[in-house]
Amino acid sequence: MTFVPSGPLGLPPATRLRTLTVTIQSSRETWLDDAAATPFAVRVLPPGPMEERVSQTRTPESPEGAQIDDASQVEDSQDSSPEEPMISLRDVHKIYRLRGGIEVRALDGLSLDVAPGSIHGIVGTSGAGKSTLVRCLTSLERPTSGHVLVEGKDMTALSPRALREARRRIGMVFQHANLLDQRTAAQNVAYPMTLAGVPSGNRHQTVARMLDLVGLADRGDSYPAQLSGGQKQRVGIARALADDPAVLLCDEPTSALDPETTRSILDLIKNVRDTLGLTVIIITHEMSVVRQVCDSVSLLQAGRIVEGGRLEDVVLDVGSRLSREIVPFPEVPEAAVAHGEAVLDVSITAHPGQPAAVALLSMVAELGGDVAAGVFETIGTAQIGRLAITVPADDVERALSTMRTAGITAEARS
């Protein structure tokens, strides 16, 4: 049993807290080593009879998929003011056609806006379309239809040359840093700039600045084998930042790290967002990542965003799937439930000055129940509590009705 201090939930310091982690299973794939050292990587796809249907994309600016060679032409027509989203996906479809004419709708009308300077989490189960989304965002793949706008530029309408420029505005961080083993940390950070033809004087300055920013100013001469997993990831982040991106796209950036290193890498991501004013997208299956670092979140399911919004709003919508996964109900071992008792799942929310937990606890006491387990989280200015309440099995309906009348969300655990 662990304890939380009192807060807006109005809990006495000795109230039980047990935080659980819910995982959305997701497998990530390998990225080619050399390609991953560039801001964009080639993904190794599973072998199989896959055939991509490439369609012409029609946009208002480029009828029938005409390509625009000068990015500024697009900028003029799609002015990116501060109020505009930094990233905007509009009705994006990605259809793969397998041999035999079978179609896989990897993205199925996905629309999403990400505000400038925000950290946006995208979660979804395996096969939901996360990798396809990453590839469409970075233009490694072209959507079958729809628009992908980054900084107001429609990536689906640019010529190869303009697209190369636009892609440099997106830095990528992967699950594994994928550093080049034969190069030092500094050389790894410099690599994308070398490819982009940045003069060596500027390169050296930028590398020093980036290594300093990620807390590795004194490790520039170290080779990857001499660095810890967290340090390698820091080098990967420095490399992603070296080409001065506006967007940092992080694909499972902490999935291979232990909890403490995860925390420090997320702090770093937050810090670089604050320092450089970046917009960050984090693809993750770890709800702790969403809780710790995201301002907003989207749930991707079967190629569509089915839930999402500001983290605080999402979590306060206690019945939503995202809310239940970000702040899950606590487990209650069968042995902890006495014969003749039933478990109720109860959710409460509170804001500063509006405590809710004490009222609930006295209601539970009146009902002859008890708190078997509880989880409390503070997100922004809101607090949410998930409690497993035991009540006499004969009193379940009365207990549910009493709580619901008091505006408390409660249901019997099946």
In the complex, which residues of this chain contact ligand ATP (CB under 6 A)? 26-28, 45, 50, 96, 104, 106, 124, 126-132
Q: CA 311 to CA 332: how far, in whole Å?
A: 27
Q: Give whichever of 30 and 275 is closer to ligand ATP, judged by the CB atom.
A: 30
Q: Give whichever of 26 and 145 is closer to ligand ATP, judged by the CB atom.
A: 26
Residue 209 CB-half CA count within 13 A: 14
In the complex, the smallest distance separating the C-beta of residue 232 from ligand ATP, rounded to whole angstroms, is 22
C-beta atoms surrounding 76 within 10 Å: 11
In the complex, the smallest distance separating the C-beta of residue 119 from ligand ATP, rounded to whole angstroms, is 20
Sign of the dihedral through C-alpha 211, 215, 221, 222 = negative
In the complex, the smallest distance separating the C-beta of residue 126 from ligand ATP, rounded to whole angstroms, is 3
Q: CA 123 to CA 255: how far, in whole Å?
A: 13
Tokens 């500094």 belong to: 186
In the complex, the smallest distance separating the C-beta of residue 93 from ligand ATP, rounded to whole angstroms, is 12
In the complex, the smallest distance separating the C-beta of residue 29 from ligand ATP, rounded to whole angstroms, is 6
Q: Give whichever of 124 and 220 is closer to ligand ATP, judged by the CB atom.
A: 124
Q: Give whichever of 282 and 371 is closer to ligand ATP, judged by the CB atom.
A: 282
Q: Give whichever of 49 and 199 is closer to ligand ATP, judged by the CB atom.
A: 49
3-state secondary structure of 254: coil
In the complex, the smallest distance separating the C-beta of residue 366 from ligand ATP, rounded to whole angstroms, is 47
Sheet holding 341-350, edge to edge: 370-379, 382-392, 341-350, 409-412
Q: CA 383 to CA 7: how far, in whole Å?
A: 8
Q: Which residues contact 60 (CB under 8 A, 6 or more apart)?
A: none
Q: How far is CA 291 from CA 287, 314, 338, 378, 380, in A?
A: 6, 11, 33, 9, 10
The phi and psi torsions of 346 (rounded to 5 degrees) equal -125, 130
The phi and psi torsions of 158 (rounded to 5 degrees) equal -95, 150
Beta strand spans in 302-398 (E):
304-310, 341-350, 370-379, 382-392
Q: Give whichever of 133 and 189 is closer to ligand ATP, judged by the CB atom.
A: 133
Q: Give whichever of 21 and 27 is closer to ligand ATP, judged by the CB atom.
A: 27
Q: Give whichever of 96 and 223 is closer to ligand ATP, judged by the CB atom.
A: 96
Q: Which residues contact 352 (CB under 8 A, 6 or more apart)?
A: 8, 381
Q: Nearest-CA neighbor of 133 among 26, 258, 4?
A: 26
Q: Give whichever of 250 and 356 is closer to ligand ATP, judged by the CB atom.
A: 250
